[in-house]
């Protein structure tokens, strides 16, 4: 039986999920463009890309596998139903999106730090990865995920975050070019203009 106050805390922490993180880093990109801060815009862009890819891949796995959540299948972690995740919420256990997006975020930020301020990684990485563990742990505490869901989600998020940042800085792909060359500026009438450069 879970302690009520701990359960309340765990429930509050689960609001840190794919939606606020993606909106938050998309906003970082937008603010960076408005402020003409290319570092901020770049970090916001790559982290948002990592999150979108991570969520898309996790959903593509969860739907077909249809693994039952532990709260509904307490003694059977092998309760799968092909395609069940598309029709039943309780069959969307594997992998954990909470864990995946947390590690995608942490790994993206660590990757950006390695390129920009490598000396800060030794203290920032432990803080970011410790924070990334919290959503997955709360989901396990609330009986929403098996341990293997958390491990798989964490690995997937870390891998995608690492690859997106690495690829983004070593290749000039179309999405990066299109978004990185965009601009957000006042229109002189109290509004905002959004545009894209076609010079490259």
Helix, strand, coil % over all residues of the chain, rounded to 5: 70, 5, 25
Q: Which residue has the higher pLDDT, 14 or 116?
A: 116
d(CA 130, CA 125): 8
Mean pLDDT, the chain, integer: 86
Residue-wise pLDDT tens digits, 67-96: 999 998 888 999 999 999 999 989 999 999
Task: Give me the percent of the chain exceeding a pLDDT of 90.
Answer: 68
Per-residue pLDDT for 19 more than 70?
A: yes
pLDDT value of position 199: 43
pLDDT value of position 93: 94
pLDDT band at 10 (very low <50, low <70, confident <90, very high): confident
pLDDT value of position 17: 85
Domain parsing of the chain, residue ranges = 4-196
Per-residue pLDDT for 24 more than 50?
A: yes
The CATH class that applies to domain 4-196 reads: mainly alpha
Q: Which residue has the higher pLDDT, 6 or 36?
A: 36
Q: Which residue has the higher pLDDT, 58 or 183?
A: 58
Can you say whether residue 65 is alpha, beta or left, with left for phi > 0 and alpha for psi between -120 and 50 degrees? alpha
pLDDT value of position 144: 92
Mean pLDDT of the 34-46 span: 92
pLDDT value of position 146: 95
pLDDT value of position 13: 72
Per-residue pLDDT for 177 more than 80?
A: no
Least confident range from 48-52, 115-119, 151-155, 188-192: namely: 188-192
Q: Which of 92, 97, 75 is nearest to 16 (CA)?
A: 97
d(CA 197, CA 47): 22
Residue-wise pLDDT tens digits, 51-71: 999 999 999 999 999 999 999
* φ, ψ at 48 (rounded to 5°): -65, -45
pLDDT value of position 8: 75
Per-residue pLDDT for 159 more than 90?
A: yes
DSSP per-residue codes, 34-52: HTT-HHHHHHHHHHHHHHH
Q: Kindly provide the residue ranges of all beta strands, DSSP E only, lying in the chain, ordered along the sequence.
A: 182-186, 192-196
């Amino acid at each position: 039986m879970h302690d009520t106050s701990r359960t309340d805390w765990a429930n509050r922490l689960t609001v840190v999920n794919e939606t606020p993180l993606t909106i938050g880093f998309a906003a970082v990109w937008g603010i960076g463009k408005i402020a003409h801060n290319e570092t901020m815009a770049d970090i916001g862009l790559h982290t948002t890309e990592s999150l979108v890819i991570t969520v898309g891949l996790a959903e593509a796995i969860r739907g077909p596998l249809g693994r039952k959540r532990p709260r509904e299948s307490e003694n059977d972690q092998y309760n799968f139903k092909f395609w069940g995740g598309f029709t039943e919420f309780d069959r969307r256990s594997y992998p954990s999106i909470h864990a995946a997006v947390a590690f995608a975020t942490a790994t993206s930020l660590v990757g950006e730090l390695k390129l920009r301020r490598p000396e800060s990684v030794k203290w920032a990485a432990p803080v970011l990865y410790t924070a990334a563990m919290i959503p997955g742990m709360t989901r396990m505490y609330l009986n929403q995920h098996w341990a293997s869901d958390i491990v798989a989600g964490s690995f997937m998020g870390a891998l995608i975050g690492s690859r997106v940042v690495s690829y983004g800085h070593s290749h000039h792909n179309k999405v990066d070019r299109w978004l990185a060359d965009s601009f957000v500026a006042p229109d002189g009438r109290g509004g905002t203009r959004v545009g894209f450069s076609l010079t490259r």
